[in-house]
Amino acid sequence: MSRQITAWLQAAPMALVMVGFLVAPIVMIVIVSFWGATEYSIYPAFQFDNYQFLFGSPVTYAVFLNTFKYAAITWALTLLIGFTVAYFLAFEVRTLKWQIALFLLCTIPFWTSNIIRMISWIPFLGRNGLANSTLISWGVIDEPLEWLLFSDFSVILAFVHLYTLFMVVPIFNSMMRIDRALIEAARDNGASAAQTLRHVIIPLCKPGIMIGTIFVTTLVMGDFITVRFMSGSQRANVGRLISNDISLLQYPSASATAVVLLCTVLIVIALLLRLVDIRKEL
Amino acid sequence: MTKNADLELVALTKRYSGTVAVDAIAHHFKAGVYACLLGPSGCGKSSTLRMIAGHETVSDGSILLGGKDVSHLPPAKRGTAMMFQSYALFPHLSVRDNVGFSLRMAGTDKVTRDRRADEMLELVEMTALADRKPDQLSGGQQQRVALARALITRPQVLLLDEPLSALDPFLRIRMRAELKRLQRELGISFIHVTHGQDEALALADEIIVMNDARIEQAGPARDVFNAPKTAFVARFMGGHNVLDLPQGKVALRSDQMIVMPAKAGRVDGRITGVEYQGTHVALTAQIAGSQDVTALIPEAQFFETPKAPGEVIGLGWDDIAAHPLAS
């Protein structure tokens, strides 16, 4: 009996933190999502108006589709870049000292805030920005490129810039766990470099790829500020839908959208976890 | 096998920035030999093996297999196969896919490679576990799989890097009998790196003792043990006394020492230890120049005239038992 009490006491602090900071807010959001709202007030109720409106509006589907598009393209690009960087760090850099040094170098941009890193793209990509003026002076283009800034291109560029490291770290971690004798064994069995990559390294990196995928998709799907800044408020994703509702004090409607987004992300993660078992990596 | 599969090392050298790991060694391995590269850690035996396998570049000299220079060929093109110390089985592949890996890389179709993999698994008696993953196997079973994976490429020379060091002592003795059986059945050369002299004696037709990047002595197991040429070999092989006598250094097998009354032998010594070892009793004595000598006496003979520490005894030996040592 006393042992049971001790166990409960030991689990209590963590449980309290989780209940207070995770479960309670989500429960609150779910409750508010059933409330009603007028132009100037919100009132407690249990009605499905918010969800009805959400699922009845074609805007919702377009915005969700756009969110998935951003997530998918960002995922593909961060995976490609992240895998390459991790591969270079893990297999091409020979000494541990250099591996650590270069790895830290990758993290240096993270010493500044997200917003600053985003905004710093604007003078570079703008109509009269560095990229356009350089291309014009080289004679590559005659007119400034309009799609460089405030477009899907700039949004995805910023996402890739912000989140590639979240792909590099878990993949690098997976790669460092690969016994180097396996690479030699593959070579001994006649595998070319490409075959070793395909049949040995990528299968053994799957858990790292999966963890990076979860990081990047959840970050991109939950984002609103990057889309707002980099598209000059011309593009929308679900996060912006919620943030707009909040700025209009439409909390019940924002909550309903948030609940749907949360469920969507959870379904995506559940599907990903069915593909690869990441338990042994944790 | 034909004489073509002889393996020859010519002035083979490996330098790592500043240090020499293998210093211009030369050796001729006859086809179908079971050879052991024996030496303490850091003596260059593993570097030598890895150069033969092609996993380490050759700094100087060459490796000839069947009269063809293979020094700069990729590992899979040499006619060698390597069995790694930790077995290096692919953890994400089943036993059958591990064994068939090289065929898959070569583009063999699945039916053929599964059939050949199953044949190899039968050879090492692992057919029943073909669908398991490596982490579901014991150390001995993993070793059999690694062996099958190396042999499926039909190598002329199999290279084994400390293959038994990861096993417990009981399994080690069983697996070493099995290695020997396989080598005899297949008739190909095995080159086996080890730091255990008992392992080398039990397995090898030919022992190559290495020390400090050079070959100290090479020859049939019995010759190396019975007639060590240097003090290093005598000490490393064990079972020998190395004595500094007026006529020079000699190696004397402990079990060929004859214990007799004081003044009757060639040297006198005071007993410092008596150790009962079952079949034998090991007497340790200190002789002039505070050199320790061990005499191994059959236990029945010892208990006829028991000795105690502190007693002075005489030690003798036949001339033929004393092997003069170089330096």
- 3-state secondary structure string, chain A? CHHHHHHHHHHHHHHHHHHHHHHHHHHHHHHHCCCEECCCCEECCCCCHHHHHHHHCHHHHHHHHHHHHHHHHHHHHHHHHHHHHHHHHHHHCCCHHHHHHHHHHHHHHHHCCHHHHHHCHHHHHCCCCHHHHHHHHCCCCCCCCCCCCCCHHHHHHHHHHHHHHHHHHHHHHHHHCCCHHHHHHHHHCCCCHHHHHHHHHHHHHHHHHHHHHHHHHHHHHHCCHHHHHHCCCCCCCHHHHHHHHHHCCCHHHHHHHHHHHHHHHHHHHHHHHHHCCCHHHC
Q: Which of the four pLDDT bands, split at 50, 70 and 90, describes residue B3?
A: very low
- The domains located in chain B, with CATH, are 3-226 (3.40.50.300), 240-324 (2.40.50.140)
So what's the pLDDT on residue B1?
40
> Does the pLDDT value for residue B313 go beyond 50?
yes
Query: What local confidence, expressed as pLDDT, does residue B102 receive?
Result: 94
pLDDT of residue A281: 55
* A33 pLDDT tier (thresholds 50, 70, 90): very high
Looking at residue A279, its pLDDT comes to 67
What pLDDT band is residue B93 in, cutting at 50, 70 and 90?
A: very high
What lies within 8 Å, CB to CB, of A30 at 6+ separation is A255, A259
In this structure, which CATH number among 3.40.50.620, 2.40.50.100, 1.10.3720.10, 1.10.1520.10 belongs to the domain A22-281? 1.10.3720.10
Which residues of B are less than 8 Å from A191 in CB distance? 101-102, 105
| Percent of chain B clearing pLDDT 90 (strictly above) | 65
Measured over the CA atoms of residue B157, residue B163, residue B169 and residue B172, the dihedral's sign is negative
Inter-chain contact A189–B92, Cβ cutoff 8 Å? Answer: no
Smallest Cα distance from A76 to chain B, Å: 24
Q: Taking residues B304-313, what's their average pLDDT?
A: 88
Sequence length of chain A is: 282
Least confident of A78-82, A165-169, B112-116, B289-293: B289-293
> B6: which 2 tokens?
């002889």
Would you state the pLDDT for residue B73?
A: 93
b/e map of B92-119 (b: 16 or more CB within 10 Å)? bbbbbbbbbbbbbbeeeeeeebbebbbe
Taking the CB of residue B146, how many other CB atoms lie within 10 A of it? 25
The per-residue pLDDT for B100 is 95
Structure tokens, A161: 């810039």
pLDDT for A3: 87
Q: Give Rg (Cα) of chain A.
A: 23
User: What is the pLDDT at residue B320?
Assistant: 86
Task: Mention every residue, 6+ apart, whose C-beta is less than 8 A from residue B230.
Answer: B216, B217, B325, B326, B327
β-pair partners for B286:
B270, B292
Q: How confident is the model at residue A98 (pLDDT cuts 50, 70, 90)?
A: very high
- Nearest CB among A189, A199, A200 relative to B76 is that of A189
User: Which residues of A fall within a CB distance of 8 Å from B84?
Assistant: 181, 184-185
What does the pLDDT look like over A146-203, one tens digit per residue?
888 888 999 999 999 999 999 999 999 999 999 999 999 999 999 999 999 999 999 9
Mean predicted confidence (pLDDT) in A252-276: 92
Residues ≥6 apart with Cβ < 8 Å to A40? none
What residues in B contact A195, CB-CB < 8 Å?
105
Of B55, B85, B102, the CB nearest to A190: B102
For A93: left if phi > 0, alpha if psi spans -120 to 50, otherwise beta; the answer is beta
Reply yes or no on whether the pLDDT at B2 is more than 70. Answer: no
pLDDT band at residue A232 under the 50/70/90 scheme? confident
Query: In the prediction, which pLDDT does B147 show?
Result: 93
The residue type found at B219 is G
Residues B182, B158 contacting (CB under 8 angstroms): no
Strand (E) or helix (H) holding B273: strand B267-276
pTM attached to this predicted model = 0.83
CA distance A90 to chain B (A): 18
State the pLDDT at residue B327. 62
* Sign of the CA dihedral with A240 first, then A243, A248, and A250 last: positive
Residues near B297 by beta carbon (within 8 Å), at least 6 away in sequence: B259, B280, B281, B283
* The pLDDT of residue B117 is above 70: yes
CB burial string B190-227: b at 16+ within 10 A, e below: bbbbbbbbebbbebbbbbbbbbebebbbbeebeebbbe
Q: pLDDT over 70 for what percent of chain A?
A: 98
Element (H, E) at B301: helix B299-304
User: Range with the lowest mean pLDDT among A256-265, B58-67, B164-173?
Assistant: B164-173
Report whether B314 contacts B260 (CB < 8 A): yes
The helix-helix angle for A152-176 and A96-107 (nearest 10°) equals 150
Q: Do A188 and B106 touch (CB under 8 A)?
A: no
Mean pLDDT in residue range B269-296: 90
Return d(Cα A79, Cα A70) in angstroms, integer: 14
Position A235 scores a pLDDT of 87
Q: Give the separation between CA A241 and CA A244, rounded to whole angstroms.
A: 5
Mean pLDDT for all residues in chain A: 91
| Strand pairing class (A36-37; A42-43) | antiparallel
pLDDT of residue B266: 87
Measured CA to CA, the distance from residue A219 to residue A162 in angstroms comes to 10
Is pLDDT at B17 greater than 90 in this prediction?
no
Strands B34-38 and B206-211: parallel
Q: How far is B236 from chain A (nearest CA, A)?
A: 29
When pLDDT is averaged across residues B164-179 and rounded to a whole number, the result is: 89
Residue type, A210: M
CA distance linking residue B193 with residue B205, whole number of Å: 14
What local confidence, expressed as pLDDT, does residue A282 receive?
55
How many Å apart are CA B112 and CA B99, to the nearest integer? 12
Q: Interface of chain A against chain B, CB under 8 Å?
A: 179, 181-182, 184-192, 195, 199-200, 203-204
Q: Determine the distance from the C-alpha atom of residue A222 to the mean position of all C-alpha atoms in its chain, rounded to a whole number.
A: 8
What is d(CA A7, CA A12) in angstroms, rounded to the nearest whole number? 9
3-state DSSP assignment of residue B263: coil
% of chain B residues with pLDDT over 70: 98
Chains A, B: CB contacts within 8 A come to: 58
For residue B274, give the 3-state DSSP assignment: strand
The predicted complex's ipTM stands at: 0.83
Q: Which two tokens stand for residue A242?
A: 């919620």
Which candidate, A257, A261, A266, A267, places its Cα nearest to that of A51? A257
Q: What is the pLDDT of residues B192-248, one digit of tens each?
A: 999 999 999 999 999 999 999 999 999 999 999 999 999 999 999 988 999 888 888
Average pLDDT over residues B68-88: 92
When pLDDT is averaged across residues B302-314 and rounded to a whole number, the result is 88
Q: CA B324, CA B246: separation in Å to the nearest integer?
A: 12
Contact A217, A265 (CB under 8 A): yes
d(CA B300, CA B281): 9
Task: Report the pLDDT averaged over residues B280-297.
Answer: 89
Nearest to A184 among B88, B89, B149 (CB): B88
